[in-house]
Amino acid sequence: MIRLNEITKTYTVGKKAVPALHGISLTVAQGEIFGVIGHSGAGKSTLIRCINLLERPTTGKVHVDGVELSALSDKQLQEERRKIGMIFQHFNLLSSATVAKNVAFPLELAGVPKEAIGQRVKELLELVGLEEHASKYPAQLSGGQKQRVGIARALANNPKVLLCDEATSALDPQTTNSILALLSDINRKLGLTIMLITHEMHVIRTICDKVAVIDGGRIVEEGPVTEVFLKPQHATTREFVEQVSDSQELKEAIRHGKASGQHRIVRITYLGETTYEPVLYEVTRQTGTPFAILQGTISRMKDTPYGQLTVQFGGSEADVARTLDSLKDRGFDVEVL
């Protein structure tokens, strides 16, 4: 649905060329929720704005739904942009217009008949749970409600793609979760392709199918969320994973273990329904290996349950080795820390 081929973007500041993106290539499949995560200044906002050509790439090609946007005239591009909805961090609502008028605005620009606009606005407000707020103004709404209006407005023209530019960054955690649940529901109901950028790993873990990590205007890691989250390869990715995993106490335990020459602190990762099975207990009972759990997580990445245990094993080296081999034989990922 979205294909970026060697996208670069360079700004001119005074007489100096300032590169923002360096040869980025990405493919987002139809119906997928694809996340791009990066620190401030990494280039993620520039990247997402290049998709609908709010920022025109310096070089490279942008394809959306089989159409090369970067080759279109301004008039043709305006038509194709109706297939691409976009929501923003700070909502960008018309303060002097009601909720219903804000949602109707893109339909009015497209010349949709008044009767059809009224019906479509009603459908969209029901979809985002704001049917009772149609006559209110943005100033009368909470942050989460404003973003729901933004989502309804972005869906007005039945787009095939929804771009989310830090859509939850201005919201509290509870409201963030409700907006993520709404986006996930819209993705399922409408088969909509969603691409979002964020600096929060929680957002990626909650709703994304795939993720790309951007650093210094380059994609440094990419893949299914389960692989990237559970087996981070790049230093930037590991930083983001630590937002929702490693505690300071665990880091201290690992440092202490290394300093004392004990390499028996192990991270065990498992996916799917085995998450809820007592595998560690069964294996250690068979091998007679004592253990202490330093940290444990059972959660979900979108629809996939996963577990991660950080365990310190006691006993002999031979017993520990047999335990780790047995866990690996059962399909668990085992990493000695």
CA distance 277 to 105: 52
Domain boundaries, the chain: 2-232, 248-336
pLDDT at 249: 58
- Per-residue pLDDT for 221 more than 60? yes
Residue the block writes with tokens 């290539």: 25
Query: pLDDT digit string (tens) for 87-116?
Result: 998 889 999 999 999 999 999 998 999 989
- For 184-209, what is the mean pLDDT? 93
**pLDDT band at residue 258, thresholds of 50, 70 and 90?**
low
Say how many C-beta atoms besides its own lie within 10 A of residue 22's C-beta: 15
Q: Do residues 172 and 265 touch, judged by C-beta distance below 8 A?
A: no
- For 271-290, what is the mean pLDDT? 86
Nearest to 287 by CA among 252, 325, 257, 258: 325
CA-based Rg of the chain, rounded to a whole angstrom? Answer: 24
Q: Do residues 138 and 150 touch, judged by C-beta distance below 8 A?
A: no
Q: Do residues 7 and 180 touch, judged by C-beta distance below 8 A?
A: no
The answer as to CATH 1.10.760.10 being correct for domain 2-232 is: no
Name the percent of the chain lying above pLDDT 90.
61
- The predicted model scores a pTM of 0.82
CB burial class (10 A; 0-12, 13-18, 19+) of residue 23? Answer: middle
Query: pLDDT digit string (tens) for 32-91?
Result: 999 999 999 999 999 999 999 999 999 999 999 999 998 998 889 988 999 999 999 888
Query: pLDDT digit string (tens) for 123-163?
Result: 999 999 999 999 999 999 999 999 999 999 999 999 999 99
Give the CA distances from residue 13 to residues 18, 20, 48, in Å, rounded to whole numbers and listed in that order: 7, 12, 21
The fourth-level CATH superfamily of domain 248-336 is ACT domain (3.30.70.260)
Structure tokens at 138: 């943005």
Name the percent of the chain lying above pLDDT 70.
94
Phi-psi region at 234: left, alpha or beta (left = phi > 0; alpha = psi -120 to 50) = beta
Residue the block writes with tokens 């493919």: 27
CA distance 274 to 294: 20
**pLDDT band at residue 255, thresholds of 50, 70 and 90?**
low
Q: What angle in degrees, to the nearest 10, is found between the helix axes of 279-287 and 317-329?
A: 140
Handedness of CA 239, 27, 84, 61 (dihedral sign): positive
DSSP 8-state class, residue 316: -
CA distance 337 to 335: 6
CATH topology agreement for domains 2-232 and 248-336: no
pLDDT at 211: 97
CA distance 47 to 8: 9
Tell me which amino acid residue 10 is: T
CA distance 278 to 306: 14
CB burial class (10 A; 0-12, 13-18, 19+) of residue 172? Answer: exposed
